[in-house]
Amino acid sequence: METNYTIQNILQKSDWKNNVQSGSKPILNAIEKCRTKELGFHLQKCDDATCNAIKHIYHSCRNRHCPNCGFVKKEEWIEARMRELFPCSYFHIVFTIPHQLNAICMGNRKEFFNLMLEASSYTLLKFSKDEKMLGAVPGIISVLHTWGQQLSFHPHIHCIVSGGGLTKDGNFKIASKAKSGILFPVKAMKVVYRAFFMRRLNQEVRNGNITLTQEQLFNFAELKDELFKKEWIVYAKRPFGGPQQVIEYLGRYVNKVAISNQRIKKMDDDTVTFEYKDYSDASKTKLMSLTHQEFLRRFEQHILPFRFTKIRSYGLYANNKRKKRVAKIFEKQKWPPHPKPMKVPLEIRLLEAFCIDITKCPTCKTGTMKLMQIVMPIKKERNDALDDWSVIQKKILEEK
């Protein structure tokens, strides 16, 4: 029988609290307690009088770094983006930074990530204004990823760009090169992206918004010369085949965390083994083993700054009056509007996605589970006796 291993298992088996930064502790603590009695539960009872089975549905932590959470929010976000897609091609463009900047980035994560998002969006919007390229404002969705396949620190920006945009006279224009699979010339984007990034980086260092160590400050001028001579990596993937592929990508990739539980293949008291794709070797799937401490150290690198927004929208998808703007474009172009949003209950979403009917009694298979009580997290210092879940259950059923 195959065993499922999770990041939660690793945290539960590791003495991690003394080996991580203080800002990471609340997040890792939430993942460790996700869907356990520590976070409370919904108590359900089968309505079949001959069964009366009891079921606990433990609460999730709802942390965005947790591989177990975010399913409903992800689906709702995807559906909201579906209602904003224009009937044109969409392109996938990726912006990275040279590894020489990783150390500065690690010491100034929030400022550096903001700078990467700013530089990538500036580059795309600048090229879109060129009449030879598009001559219009496109819709852009940008998402920050910070990891490589081996959980190494590799910050980069994925951008989804519409192959059409709004012109100054209010018409929707399709890019002339969109059919050939090219939106903007990659080599030219590299130059613009690098120039803007380095100019803004220099400003942020001068203004004290990005701080450097003494050694980094001493070598900063030399580093800038080296980076200007270096070719930065910007690459454009094949355009999406249609709106359905855009949605599939959004669901599968945009909302990813650093590593999914499915990639963890084995663990014992000392090591964790997970699979990764080796892009330097024809994308072959390989296995890597790390100690618990090293695995969690790498995972911790990808915990985002407090309240940092990793998904940003620009151009026609900019947040200010986005819904009205998109609706107006559809109306003027006389395109059929997207379906109106509909609130989908959790039980329906789980049934559609995983064929799991959470309303059916798992014991008798015929009865329906009815909610009896919602039990919130209980602090042990208030009443140690309530730490016994059987006592809690008995008290609730007696009340009912």
pLDDT digits (tens, 9 = 90+) for 321-346: 899 999 999 999 999 988 887 788 87
253 and 314 housed in the same domain: yes
SS3 28: helix
Q: What distance in Å separates the CA atoms of residue 228 and residue 291, rounded to the nearest whole number? A: 38
75 and 187 housed in the same domain: yes
Residue located via tokens 């109306």: 331
> Within 10 Å of residue 7's Cβ, how many Cβ atoms?
25
Given a contact cutoff of 8 angstroms between Cβ atoms, the answer to whether 84 and 317 are in contact is: yes
Q: What distance in Å separates the CA atoms of residue 106 and residue 369, rounded to the nearest whole number? A: 48
Q: What is the model's pLDDT at position 342?
A: 78
Q: What angle do CA 350, 356, 358 make, to 5 degrees?
A: 85
Residue 384 lies in a domain: yes
Which range of residues forms the domain containing residue 130?
A: 71-258+307-334
181 and 132 housed in the same domain: yes
230 and 364 housed in the same domain: no
pTM of the full structure: 0.87
C-alpha distances out from residue 154 to 95, 220, 250, Å: 11, 21, 20
Residue 48 lies in a domain: yes
List the CATH number of the domain containing 86: 3.40.1310
The tally of domains found in the chain comes to: 3
61 and 12 housed in the same domain: no
80 and 60 housed in the same domain: no
Q: What is the model's pLDDT at position 385?
A: 39
Say how many Å lie between the first and final Cα of the chain, rounded: 40
Helix, strand and coil percent figures for the chain, each rounded to 5: 40, 20, 35
> Within the chain, which residues score under 70 in pLDDT?
1-3, 177-181, 378-400
Q: What distance in Å separates the CA atoms of residue 115 and residue 108, rounded to the nearest whole number? A: 10
Residue 369 lies in a domain: yes
* Type of residue at 251: G
Sign of the dihedral through C-alpha 136, 137, 141, 145: positive
118 and 75 housed in the same domain: yes
Structure tokens at 53: 């089975």
pLDDT digits (tens, 9 = 90+) for 360-399: 999 998 999 999 999 888 654 444 433 444 454 545 445 4
Residue 22 lies in a domain: no
Q: What is the model's pLDDT at position 128?
A: 94
Residue 117 lies in a domain: yes
Given a contact cutoff of 8 angstroms between Cβ atoms, the answer to whether 82 and 155 are in contact is: no
SS3 40: coil
pLDDT digits (tens, 9 = 90+) for 216-267: 999 999 999 999 999 999 988 878 877 778 877 877 777 788 999 999 999 9
SS3 22: helix
